[in-house]
Structure formats: C-alpha cells, structure tokens
Structure 1
Amino acid sequence: MSIQPFHLAIPVFDVPLARAFYRDVFGLEEGRSCETWVDFNFYGHQLVIHHHPKTPSQEEAVTNPVDGHDVPVPHFGVVLKWDQWEALAERLKSLDTPFIIEPYIRFKGQVGEQATMFLLDPCGNALEFKAFKDMSQLFAK
C-alpha cells in the first residue's frame, strides 16, 4: 500500500515544552519552525505544533469505551510496523513515560487484532500508536 503523507496541525500552549517532547521522547526530526510553530517528520508525515491557548480537550479528555479501556477523544497517531511499535513501546517505557493506556494487544484473537498504546503530550494532546501483524486487518469488520 502506497499512501501520501498526511499533514496535521495541533494546538500546544507551550511550544518549547512540546518541541522538546516530540524531539526527545520520539526522536522526531525537526523541519521548518519559528517561535510559534514547529514542523516535525512524524514517521513520514508532517506534524506541526502551533501555539494556541489551552483547549477544553487538553484540560480534560472525554473518553469512549473500546475493548474495555477508556479511549481519549480526540486523539491522533500513526500505524507503525510491528517491530517499530515494539521498539517505541520499549523506548517510552525506558523513559518512564506515563501512559493513558499501557501497550497491549487489542481485540486479541478477533477481527482487527492490533497492538496499541495511548499517552499524552505535555500539552494534553492524546496520541495513539498502533500496529497490525496483518495489515489487511486495518479496516476489517
């Protein structure tokens, strides 16, 4: 499957803190930037953090139940290859990163089985990282 990179701009109320998080925790490469925004290479996609006052979703996340867990809404993330997901989970654990939902296998033994984990950036934006051993399950019903 060949896809075009997406572009996602998210609000952050502290650009230096969010910049350090995306650069140091995830090891993302920076692109263009100024005092109020920073471009990152987010696993081949363009993620831009933009200065913005704190939003209600950054104050307190609303959740929806999925597979016995409270999934924060809104959230964003990326589908990684299985080995990338495992390496990222280990990296985050080694940095004592707090998780909203610890890395685990969702829908185990069912259609759509996937590895997933959720965490917050320092400005309260929820992120999900997932992986499928069988990518044909990405949109399976």
Structure 2
Amino acid sequence: MTHLPPFHLAFQVNDLEAARRFYGEIIGCTEGRSDSHWIDFDFFGHQIVAHLDDNAGSNAVSNPVDGHDVPVPHFGAVLEWDAFHALKARLEAAGIQWVLEPYLRFEGEPGEQATMFVRDPSGNALEFKAFRDPDQLFATD
C-alpha cells in the first residue's frame, strides 16, 4: 500500500471546548495550534481544523449504502485493525452514540473492511474503517 501525503481538512463546530474534549480526549488527537476561534488537531497524521461557527449543526442528509443510511458529508480515517478496535472501545466507554454501529462490509469480497460512524458534539459525521489486509484499500476485484 502506498502512503499518501497528509491532508488538511477544515470544518465547523459550534463549541470549541466540546470539540477539544471529543477530538482530544475521546478520539485521541493531539492538539496543535489554536486560538479563540479554531483548533488544529493531529487526526491520525493529518491536520484537521475545527473552526468555531455558532450556527454549525447536524447535517441530516444521508445516502443508502449496503442497506444503511450513511451520513453525508462525512470524513474520517482508515486505521490499522487493532487501532480501529481500540477506538471502538474508547467510543463505547465514553458513551458516544453510533450513527452506524461497527460492522464488517464486503465480507469475503475485495475491500472487506470494518466500519463505524459517529457524530461529534457539533453533529459532524465521522467514519472510521479498517482493513484486515491494508492492500485492499482501493481493491476493485
């Protein structure tokens, strides 16, 4: 599997302290620079920036995927198998509600993956996934 360069993602939150707790304490992201209107986080080697917007809120749009209503837009990370399960345990311990409970997609097919969806305190949807075989990330057959 090739490693891509880090990406940058900016998104809106309606409460910086709640974002700091969720991304820092629960997800486990290291905090970078910040000021009174934004916070940088190291999101599994990528830079995400939570920008304060008092009007930010949950986006209730979804698309049907594998019989599930997948929230859009969403962002997330592809984790190593053990890291995925460790994060799942942290989310459960923190009482985070699932948008889609962890499950195995494409079982026995190309691209088999574990996936789960949650929302942050501002309603932003996040997907985390893991592949037993990381070389299957972009598999088509």
- The TM-score with structure 2 as length reference comes to 0.92
Residues 19-53 of structure 1, C-alpha deviations (whole Å, 9 max, x = no match)? 22111111211100001000011111101100124
Structure 2 counterpart of 1:72, which letter? Answer: P
Structure 1 counterpart of 2:136, which letter? Answer: Q
Kindly tell me the number of residue pairs found equivalent between the two proteins. 139
Query: In the alignment, what sits opposite 2:66?
Result: 67
CA contact (8 A) 1:32 1:38 kept: yes
Residues 69-98 of structure 1, C-alpha deviations (whole Å, 9 max, x = no match)? 110000000000111101111111122210
Q: Report runs of 4+ in structure 1 exceeding 4 Å deviation.
A: none
Query: In the alignment, what sits opposite 1:99?
Result: 98
RMSD: 1.2
Query: In the alignment, what sits opposite 2:121?
Result: 122
Moved more, 1-10 or 37-46: 1-10
Query: In the alignment, what sits opposite 2:49?
Result: 48
Residues 83-140 of structure 1, C-alpha deviations (whole Å, 9 max, x = no match)? 1101111111122210100111111112211000000000000000001111222112
SS at match of 2:95: coil
In structure 1, the gaps of 5 or more residues are: none
Structure 2 counterpart of 1:81, which letter? Answer: E
CA contact (8 A) 2:58 2:124 kept: no
Distance in 2, Cα, partners of 1:84 & 1:102: 16
In structure 2, the gaps of 5 or more residues are: none
Q: Does 1:14 align with 2:15?
A: yes
CA contact (8 A) 1:10 1:50 kept: yes
Query: In the alignment, what sits opposite 1:83?
Result: 82
Distance in 2, Cα, partners of 1:94 & 1:86: 12
CA contact (8 A) 1:61 1:74 kept: no
SS at match of 2:49: strand
Structure 1 counterpart of 2:27, which letter? Answer: F
Distance 1:110 1:54, change over 3 A: farther
SS at match of 1:93: helix
Q: Percent identity?
A: 56
Distance in 1, Cα, partners of 2:72 & 2:44: 22
Distance 1:61 1:82, change over 3 A: same
